Amino acid sequence: MAVPSAGNADWRNSSGERSGLRRYYATLRERWWVVALCTVVTLAAAAIYVAVAPRTYTGEAELLVNAAPPENTILFDLPVLHQSGDPTQDVLTGANLVTTPQVANAVIAALHLRTTTNDLLDKVSATPVGQSNIVAVQAQASSARRAQRIANAFMNEAIAVRSAAMHAAVALAIPSLAAQVAALPRAQRNGPGSLGDELSQLETLRRSPDPTLGVAAAAQLPTAPSTPKTKLSLAAGLLGGLLIGIAAAFAFNALDPRVQREEQLRELFGRVLVLARIPRVGRKQWPGPLVPGQLSVTAIEGYRTLRTTLSTRAGGEPRAYLLTGCGPSEGKTTSAIALSAALAQGGGRVVLIEADLRRPKIASALGLALHFGTEQVLTGEVELADALTTVSIDGAELRVVAAHRSGAKLADRLSVSIAREMIESAKELADFVVIDAPPLTAVIDALPLAQLADEVLVVVRLAQTRLAKLADLDDLLSHQGARPTGFVLVGGTDRDGYGYYSPAGDIRPGTGGAGQLLPDLPEPARTHRRV
């Protein structure tokens, strides 16, 4: 009877919390496919965006700003850019003179563009370059040539508009100044600082562009589109996919934590050993439990290892082993049949009892034609010995009591007294009693058997068994004075170290591969007799 002491009723490892970095690494390792999927999807989206997004080219010209100093009396009264005492502000003012509706209209007229003033201004910017007196005039367009032309046109037209304003002011000032010069004696008309000198400078300005604005560099033909940026977009897609994938991996782990690695069992349930490691059986999906003839060599070796461990712990005394799990399709019934076969092949007398009365599968898996079953034993119609059917597997015989059909009402009749009588009767007939019980976290029909069995083995399937369900099983068994004595881990691969005899992968018995060192196990002989 598996009754734990008060000190170890809880088989969870209270100190099994993983350290931060180790936990994060384990989560990413378990959910690597989520990270990979998100990365591939976002990278593909970025590639599609790069392929279908319209190309935009940016042309850039550079405008030179030289504000007129206060001591320049010639330019003092003219509409040019004057120094404000703050060079940064002067350059910013020069930048604002570029993106005006007047300049935009002049560009539209000069280039014969079919667009509106506002639409054109939305695609043009003028920005001071650092702390210099340079203004970067940038224009975006659907072609490289168009972007170059618009950038140069805005710079040139900005200078032209300001020059026109200056020329108009100079034209108004020259007649008055010329009259003043004519009224002076001929000897006083010319010379440095004279009115004649000012008149000469104004005449020069009337034929010259605005001296406070100039061309620093004309726009060159863009060699590549500014958007979309192929390398940047792909890098962003890759990085974004990794970040999204990592976040999704942790979200999956938080919302749906499942057993992904054996280390999780050791970390969370350190007091319970993994007694057997059973690799998955290829890719073919079987409709129900597997018999030994359908298992791989490495799987059979795993159950033989489990047989050796349990036989050693039995110490020559009859023992009852109950196999349960946390949910359906975790390999519980397959493990019960395979363990029974391995114990029988080891020379022990074995009785296999099917206690899963809601979903009985042993009779169909072994091809049994039952006369009496578990139902009749529960109702007291027959003794256990009269309900046994002998099955021969590879020359080794084991006796089975299986259920005819599913029945929830019969399952409710499995009381402690009936469970005790069934286990004791089976021990009188066999050295080993293997009980195939339903998942106790789903139904508690077989809980009396778990309380009375000598050992409770929990079958865990990688990537399917939920950690929360294992914790629920812990609580259920602890409250009933029982606890698991070992795990049967199902679903690994030979690469995980699950097999020694089959380095090339799973080799089905009967295929005669080079790695096959165990005898072939045929389908169970369907000759049945009552004992």
Strand order of the β-sheet with 432-436 is 274-279, 486-492, 455-461, 319-324, 432-436, 350-354, 396-401, 389-393
Distance, in Å, from the CA atom of 229 to the CA atom of 67, rounded to the nearest integer, reads: 37
The pLDDT value given to residue 485: 87
Query: What CATH number has the domain bearing residue 150?
Result: 3.30.1890
Q: Are residues 284 and 184 in the same domain?
A: no
Domain end, chosen from 184, 217, 250, is at: 217
Q: Do 400 and 362 form a contact (C-beta atoms < 8 A)?
A: yes
Could you please report the per-residue DSSP string of 252-297? HHHHS-B--SHHHHHHHSTTS-EEEEEE---SPPPSSPPPGGGS-H
Residue 517 lies inside a defined structural domain of this protein: no
Q: Are residues 176 and 293 in the same domain?
A: no
Distance, in Å, from the CA atom of 528 to the CA atom of 511, rounded to the nearest integer, reads: 28
| Coil, helix or strand at residue 338 | helix
Look up residue 175 and give its two tokens. 């007649």
Q: Are residues 168 and 309 in the same domain?
A: no
Q: Determine the Cα angle at 484 with ends 482 and 486, to 5°.
A: 160
Residue 516 lies inside a defined structural domain of this protein: no
Residue 189 lies inside a defined structural domain of this protein: yes
Q: Are residues 195 and 333 in the same domain?
A: no
Q: Are residues 321 and 442 in the same domain?
A: yes
The pLDDT value given to residue 412: 72
Q: Are residues 435 and 292 in the same domain?
A: yes
The pLDDT value given to residue 266: 77
322: β partners: 435, 456
Q: Are residues 355 and 277 in the same domain?
A: yes
Domain hosting residue 86, numbered range: 54-217
Residue 260 lies inside a defined structural domain of this protein: no
168-172-174-180 Cα dihedral, nearest 10 degrees? -170
Residue 117 lies inside a defined structural domain of this protein: yes
Look up residue 6 and give its two tokens. 């008060």
Distance, in Å, from the CA atom of 70 to the CA atom of 76, rounded to the nearest integer, reads: 7
433-438-444-448 Cα dihedral, nearest 10 degrees? 0
Displacement of CA 176 from its chain's centroid (Å):
81
Distance, in Å, from the CA atom of 216 to the CA atom of 63, rounded to the nearest integer, reads: 5
Residue 503 lies inside a defined structural domain of this protein: no
Residue 225 lies inside a defined structural domain of this protein: no
Residue where the block lists tokens 């598996």: 2
The pLDDT value given to residue 526: 37
The pLDDT value given to residue 22: 67
Q: Do 285 and 296 form a contact (C-beta atoms < 8 A)?
A: no
Residue where the block lists tokens 């998942």: 439
Q: Are residues 212 and 301 in the same domain?
A: no
Distance, in Å, from the CA atom of 240 to the CA atom of 303, rounded to the nearest integer, reads: 46
Distance, in Å, from the CA atom of 268 to the CA atom of 469, rounded to the nearest integer, reads: 13
Q: Are residues 424 and 341 in the same domain?
A: yes
Neighbours of 17 (CB within 10 A): 11
Q: Are residues 184 and 77 in the same domain?
A: yes
Neighbours of 241 (CB within 10 A): 22
Residues of the chain with pLDDT under 50: 1-11, 14-18, 283, 498-531
The pLDDT value given to residue 158: 96
Neighbours of 176 (CB within 10 A): 9
Residue 118 lies inside a defined structural domain of this protein: yes
**360 Cβ contact partners less than 8 Å away, ≥ 6 residues apart:** 354, 374, 402, 403, 404, 405, 406
Q: Are residues 211 and 295 in the same domain?
A: no
Distance, in Å, from the CA atom of 262 to the CA atom of 250, rounded to the nearest integer, reads: 19
Domain count for the chain, please give it.
2
The pLDDT value given to residue 4: 42
Query: What CATH number has the domain bearing residue 365?
Result: 3.40.50.300
Neighbours of 508 (CB within 10 A): 19
Domain end, chosen from 197, 217, 237, is at: 217
Q: Are residues 208 and 320 in the same domain?
A: no
**487 Cβ contact partners less than 8 Å away, ≥ 6 residues apart:** 265, 269, 272, 273, 274, 275, 457, 458, 459, 460
Could you please report the per-residue DSSP string of 86-153? -HHHHHHHHHHTTS-HHHHHHHHHHHT--S-HHHHHHTEEEEE-TTSSEEEEEEEESSHHHHHHHHHH
| Coil, helix or strand at residue 435 | strand
The pLDDT value given to residue 282: 54
